[in-house]
Structure 1
């Protein structure tokens, strides 16, 4: 089993995908966004809108997420508002500009997805998605106490 290669291969393919997305958005005239900014946008589009939830989902500090979100606010692609359901929290959402960028990003991802399927074959691509979407269970397995 090639267990040591798994994390490297997953990360390399993630970087390939993100770099392809960024290049396509750049070619369409969008401002360059960092990988953390890209991951924040992905969370927002997936419905994760509280900065603390985004931080938890990405495994980074709330301070790091707030810094990233503030950069994105300056770019005009997201905004921060008080959560109407719980005024103690903020929510982040796409601006009109961010929504247009998201549509272009979705088209870019559709193109990249088609490119991957064409390169590795539709059956292997479907198997890859099935494996990645499968329930892998809890991510921390505790050793039995002795």
Structure 2
């Protein structure tokens, strides 16, 4: 774990990486401390893309920054844990759609609440206004997207 003193010498890319790793570890631990169902960060990422939707699996593979093979593996894992269900698409024999089960939705919503608690802790430490500014900065178009 990087100390606060070590953070002082990092550039933007490494600072983002360090903070991202830290909040992901804390978030993952918070979930694992209160649930018997292990869900990886990549699985959460996929669950976020399908929450309250019924996208096709091909839509997920085109719009998620994970390899097609890995996405299929994660979806299979999520289905085995009872978090998603895979259904045929009407009038299309090849295509499948995916959606969260009731357990999947409940798990996703519990995890969102845990993340909100972590964000609140951060806001208590650095200030609500600073968190809002940080979020706004991260949402800006940085003009660096790859095509």
Residue 103 of structure 2 corresponds to 97
> Does structure 1 retain, via aligned residues, the 8 Å contact 2:85–2:101?
yes
Classify the secondary structure of the residue corresponding to 2:113.
helix
Q: In the alignment, is residue 74 of structure 1 matched against residue 80 of structure 2?
A: yes
Q: 1:88 to 1:16 in 2, by over 3 A?
A: same
Query: Which residue of structure 1 aligns with residue 139 of structure 2?
Result: 133
**Structure 1 residues 85 and 110, CA gap change in structure 2 (3 angstroms):** farther
Quick one: distance in 2 between partners of 1:123 and 1:85? 50
Aligned to 1:6: 12
Query: Partners of 1:10 and 1:96 in 2: how far apart?
Result: 34
CA distance in structure 2 between the aligned counterparts of 1:85 and 1:125, rounded to whole angstroms? 47
| Post-superposition CA distance 1:67-111 (Å, at most 9, x none) | 111011111111111234855422221111111111211110110
> Number of paired residues?
139
State the match for 1:30 in structure 2: 36
Q: How far apart, in 1, do the equivalents of 2:91 and 2:23 lie?
A: 35
**SS of match in other structure, 1:89:** strand
Q: Return 5+ residue gaps in structure 2 as ranges.
A: 1-9
Instruction: Give, in angstroms, the shift of residue 21 of structure 1.
Output: 2.2
Structure 1: stretches of 5+ with no match in the other structure: 142-146
CA distance in 2, matches of 1:56, 1:16: 28
2-structure distance, mates of 1:132, 1:34 = 24
TM-score in terms of structure 2 length: 0.79
